[in-house]
A and B are shown apart, each in its own frame.
Chain A
Amino acid sequence: MSAGTVLCRFDELVDGEARGFDPQKGGQDTLFGVRRGSRLYLYRDLCPHATSPMAWRKDEYLNRRRDRIVCFAHGAQFEIETGRCLLGPCIGQSLQAVAHAIDDRGNVRLV
């Protein structure tokens, strides 16, 4: 993943929802983010339990109440803000956060 890559415009992201990204255009999302207000929590789409992609369908990374990230391989639950696994097969481990910034044109960029 090269620094500078633009993932999307920040204002395309729906507040409270998740979205997957495929910056290498390999046909499989490798990153995902959850927008909360003016913040984006961006992680690798790689569950620490079995190094698996986590969504159950494109962009579906959250539980019904939208207050936890879930790995839909075996149900591990993660805190959105920290990426820490709170319950499930990788309890105590964490998602890998991905450094990014929102540039002056409103683009979400990898840094």
Chain B
Amino acid sequence: MKILGPDLLVFGVDHVPACCEFLIEYGLTPVGVTDQGGRFEAMDGTGVLILSSDDPSLPPALSSGNTIRETIYGVQDAQTLEAVGRELSKDREVRRAADGSLHCTDDLGFAIAFQVTVRKPYAAAATLTNAPGSPPQRGPNQVAVDPDAQIRPRTLSHVVFFVPDAARMEAFYHRLGFRVTDRFTGTGAFMRPEGNADHHALFFIQTPPFMQGCEHFAFHLGGPSDVIQAGSRLVAKGYQSYWGPGRHIFGSNWFWYFNSPMGVHVEYDADMDLHDDAWTPREATIGADASQLFLMQHREKWSPGGPPPA
């Protein structure tokens, strides 16, 4: 089943204007956003939908208070959508919305939906590097750093959930064609859907039931420099860094996590590994040693030799 990954994450929040402000600063593009909320899109059309927690169009809230209300997955085509519908109709009610999307709940009660993907083709430059020993990627006079660069999230990368039964989640998404790429022992699995080579579109963290919800989501940026530049801009504006910048081991992606007014972490990531079915999943025990290759904590402006004379 060629599921490509999450197309849209739906949140029901306490403070709609704060969430809208945050997501715009994060770099997403507001589409039809009003003071009631609306959609925030990356370059390929994937995104986040913000609505007030009492909006009647939302699926019910989780009892944990977590603000995630629905994860809408994009699938490759109409045949895949029907195949997903047939599979899930075996043991649960699947509702078809007016726009053709299919809605139900997964085995732990998270609202999920499937639609023919909104992901559209787009072109965006790669970060070019000059590495001695290899042909240069940037020729003479091609300057890499632009302090005013516009940095836009390119595509919705992954979503991570606190779950009371990680094994059950893994088994459920396995039914939909997701593969385990790596695993933290006793915590949960990283999974990628069949239609996406990215190391993970989903990761589960085993927790007590009262914590169930979204832990974080991430959009891919163009490269590590983008992650650090965009994250530094958030820090300079007073946003609260949680973890980063750094580089993960599983997935190899660069990361920087921030607190958000949705009450979930929001991550920038870049340069994630790709996998296919020839890959053998690794296993490790979670902890800073296993989850980060290195961590660079932000500090105030500094230059070698100290500040310039006043």
Contact surface of A with B, Cβ cutoff 8 Å: 27, 52-60, 63-64, 70-75, 77, 87-89, 91
Contacts and interface: CB of A to CB of B under 8 A. Distances in A.
Contact of B15 (A53, A64, A89): A64
A58 B22 CA distance: 13
B215 A72 contact: no
B260 interface: yes
A70 B65 CA distance: 11
Contact of A87 (B65, B258, B262): B65
A60 B210 contact: no
A88 B65 contact: yes
A74 B265 CA distance: 7
B239 A57 contact: yes
Instruction: Count chain A CB atoms within 10 A of each CB in B237, B259, B261, B265 and give the residue with the most.
Output: B259
Nearest to B237: A57
Contacts of B262: 75
B99 interface: no
B106 interface: no
Contacts of B237: 57
B300 to A, nearest CB: 5
Given A63-B14, A89-B162, A75 B240 contact: no
Contacts of B294: none
B242 A53 contact: yes
A63 B19 CA distance: 12
A74 B264 contact: yes
Given A64-B15, A64-B18, A89-B210, A52 B242 contact: yes
Nearest to B263: A75
A73 to B, nearest CB: 5
Contacts of A91: 210
Nearest to A29: B240
B213 interface: yes
B65 A75 contact: yes
B18 A75 contact: no
Question: Which label, helix, strand, loop or mixed, suits the secondary structure of the B interface?
Answer: loop
Contacts of B265: 73-74
Nearest to B53: A64
A55 B213 contact: no
A63 to B, nearest CB: 5
A70 B240 contact: no
B286 to A, nearest CB: 13
A72 B238 contact: no
B234 to A, nearest CB: 9
19 contacts: A56-B18, A57-B237, A57-B238, A59-B238, A63-B14, A63-B15, A64-B15, A70-B263, A73-B263, A74-B66, A74-B213, A74-B265, A75-B67, A75-B263, A87-B65, A88-B64, A88-B210, A89-B64, A89-B162
Contacts of A70: 14, 263
A89 B63 CA distance: 11
Interface string B220-254: 00000000000000000111101000000000000
Instruction: Count chain B CB atoms within 10 A of each CB in A52, A63, A73 and give the residue with the most.
Output: A73
B207 interface: yes
B120 interface: no
A85 B254 CA distance: 33
Given A52-B259, A74-B213, A74-B215, 14 more contacts: A53-B240, A54-B259, A60-B18, A63-B15, A70-B14, A70-B263, A73-B263, A74-B263, A74-B264, A75-B262, A75-B263, A88-B64, A88-B65, A89-B211
